[in-house]
Amino acid sequence: MMKVRAHTCYLGHSGYSAHARQFFRNLSKHVELRVRNYTWDSDPTYFNDIDFKILDKITLSTPEGNYQDFPISYSFPQFHWANANRDFTPDVDIVLMDMDHHYFYQEYDSKIRIAYTVWESTEIPSNFFNQLLKFDYLWVATKWHKDVIVNQGYPRERVLVVNEGVSNEFFGDVDIPSSVNEEYKDGRFKFLFFGRWDYRKAVPEVIDSFLKAFPNNEPVDLILSADNPYAIDGMNTTEQRLLHYGYNDPRIKVKHFVSREEYVAYLKKGNVLITCARSEGWNIPLIEAMAAGTPVIYSGWGAQLEFAYGKGNPVKIKEELPASIGANLGFAGDTPGLYAEPDFSDLTIVIKDCYLNYDKRKECAELEKNYIINNFNWEGIGKKGYEALLNSKTRIPSIVDNTATKEPNISFNFIDGPFIEIKNAEGQEFFVEFIDGDTGKLEYSANNGNNTWSRCSIKYFKNWVITNST
């Protein structure tokens, strides 16, 4: 089985972290995978059994100011039974991080080295572009990214599109928290905005367009979750920014970092999601709202068209402008390339249309969600990632599947619960079962390839029967 080492920000609540967790969880169903994590979260309640299996390293800063890798169990004792202390030599290294992260600048000795990243403008900085050329392949989230990087000079045959996906929690019914139900007791129409207050997200323009669409105090609210703790505009809160821009309308309902359960409920229960950014690398709230069958408004440009084109309620684009304009507004660095400039007058028209013709817009959204669910569910995206690995493998002759020519070495012990390890089994895969010999009950099973092991967490005495088959 192919061995893959992921270098990524697995912990946390950023868009990259959400992408990494879902993608590598599902890719691990097809390859033997281990994760080296960079980010920190002291209470990752979102961990599941797959995470405990694949996470084995965490990069931490040392007192000397350097970075060093440690077994994940040093920081999270619940990982004591993971593969933290076992050798893992990958066939493939995948670095999935934000642009210019130092993980991209490290040396990797695997047979295939893959850079996987997302960006928003029509050009990436030249120093990072040159570093990406050192990888064997570049994975990007959309065809738009591929066109951008190829136009900048990256070899087309080395760029593969591997989409992001959407969580299945948006596909069906969910329990609505009381806090969200309380919000809807007034029966008013609710527009939603979820996104960081910055230049690229065009938050002031979105609010201004909303207020222009409903100038006569119509019974329409804007649920606004737009906190930005990293802004450098001299303001600390969304309320301060609303006051600064003169947006004191009581119909703007500010929400501060709602819980995951509340966020999912808002997207499923809300009337319309507004997102009209100057550019998006993917746009997670947009695809999540579409998967929930909620009508959406978005700017008709860039990477998000990978899944949104021809659907929802796009806003016209007036022109393209330098992305670096945002640096002068205190919300962005000196980004090269271009962003789109949406026609915010058209945004006002689209907002009003979604309100006046809501039943039609909702009917279309309910039909369109099936396309999102069928084509961008994470299980399917994991399979596409595996296919991309196989595609890469066929072009690099250094990785060749070996047929089984040696007898596997299978060992086991019962020191800390039943344990089995398989070595000398290149090209073979085993289905291992741990069975209670007295009752015949299957207690645990797993798929194992070469140089892997499995352990059943039950430690008390049983008459164990361990079986395996290829």
The CATH number covering residue 247 comes to 3.40.50.2000
pLDDT at 245: 95
pLDDT at 157: 93
How does pLDDT run along the chain (470 residues), one tens digit per residue? Answer: 899 999 999 999 889 999 999 999 999 999 999 999 999 998 888 999 999 899 999 999 888 888 899 888 877 777 655 555 567 999 999 999 999 999 999 999 999 999 999 999 999 999 999 999 999 999 999 999 999 999 999 999 999 999 999 999 999 888 999 999 999 999 999 999 999 999 999 999 999 999 999 999 999 999 999 999 877 788 999 999 999 999 999 999 999 989 999 999 999 999 999 999 999 999 999 999 999 999 999 999 999 999 999 999 999 999 999 999 987 666 656 789 999 999 999 999 999 999 999 999 999 999 999 999 999 999 999 999 999 999 886 544 434 343 334 567 777 666 557 778 777 777 777 778 878 777 778 888 878 777 777 777 775 556 666 666 65
CA 363 to chain centre: 28
Pairing of strands 55-61, 32-37: parallel
For the four alpha carbons of 120, 123, 128 and 130, in that order, the dihedral sign comes to: positive
Share of the chain above pLDDT 70, in %: 89
Amino acid identity for residue 41 in this structure: D
- Number of folded domains in the chain? 3
Placement of tokens 């004191």 in the chain: 248
Dig out the tokens for 15 from the structure.
Answer: 């868009």
pLDDT at 398: 39
CA 340, 341, 347: angle at the middle one, nearest 5? 120
Query: Torsions phi, psi of 194, nearest 5?
Result: -130, 115
Alpha-helical (H) ranges within 142-192 are 143-151, 178-183
User: From CA 422, how far away is CA 247, in angstroms rounded?
Assistant: 65
Q: Are 289 and 271 in contact (CB under 8 A)?
A: no
Amino acid identity for residue 286 in this structure: L
Pairing of strands 430-436, 442-448: antiparallel
Amino acid identity for residue 60 in this structure: L
pLDDT at 333: 64
Longest dimension (CA), the chain: 80
Report the chain's C-alpha Rg in angstroms.
25
Give the H or E element holding residue 206. Answer: helix 203-213
The answer to whether residue 156 sits within a structural domain is: yes
- In this structure, are 416 and 361 located in the same domain? no
- In this structure, are 178 and 114 located in the same domain? no
The answer to whether residue 198 sits within a structural domain is: yes
- In this structure, are 226 and 81 located in the same domain? no
pLDDT at 418: 77
Q: What is the pLDDT of residues 183-224, one digit of tens each?
A: 999 999 999 999 999 999 999 999 999 999 999 999 999 999
- In this structure, are 416 and 368 located in the same domain? no
- In this structure, are 315 and 384 located in the same domain? no
Dig out the tokens for 434 from the structure.
Answer: 């741990």
pLDDT at 412: 66
- In this structure, are 154 and 285 located in the same domain? no
User: From CA 158, how far away is CA 129, in angstroms rounded?
Assistant: 13
- In this structure, are 205 and 324 located in the same domain? yes
User: From CA 22, how far away is CA 167, in angstroms rounded?
Assistant: 8
* 126, 131, 133, 138: CA torsion to nearest 10: -100
The answer to whether residue 402 sits within a structural domain is: no
Using CA atoms, how far residue 43 sits from 19, 37, 71, 133, 425, in Å, is 19, 15, 17, 37, 38
Q: What is the pLDDT of residues 241-296, one digit of tens each?
A: 999 999 999 999 999 989 999 999 999 999 999 999 999 999 999 999 999 999 99
pLDDT at 331: 61
The answer to whether residue 400 sits within a structural domain is: no
pLDDT at 43: 86
- In this structure, are 368 and 449 located in the same domain? no
The answer to whether residue 401 sits within a structural domain is: no
Cβ-based burial of 452 (10 A; exposed 0-12, middle 13-18, buried ≥19):
buried
pLDDT at 404: 37
Cβ-based burial of 130 (10 A; exposed 0-12, middle 13-18, buried ≥19):
exposed
Nearest to 157 by CA among 321, 392, 386, 460: 392
What domain range includes position 463? 409-469
- In this structure, are 291 and 313 located in the same domain? yes
The answer to whether residue 403 sits within a structural domain is: no
Cα end-to-end distance, the chain, whole Å: 12
User: From CA 86, how far away is CA 89, in angstroms rounded?
Assistant: 10
Nearest to 167 by CA among 386, 385, 381: 381
- In this structure, are 83 and 114 located in the same domain? yes
The answer to whether residue 34 sits within a structural domain is: yes
Q: Which residues contact 243 (CB under 8 A, 6 or more apart)?
A: none
Tally Cβ neighbours within 10 Å of residue 338.
20
The pTM assigned to this predicted structure is 0.82
> 234: phi > 0 → left, psi -120 to 50 → alpha, else beta; which?
left
Dig out the tokens for 207 from the structure.
Answer: 């609010």
Q: Could you please report the per-residue DSSP string of 116-140?
A: E----SS---HHHHHHHTTSSEEEE
- In this structure, are 429 and 296 located in the same domain? no
Nearest to 222 by CA among 243, 247, 245: 247
- In this structure, are 143 and 101 located in the same domain? yes
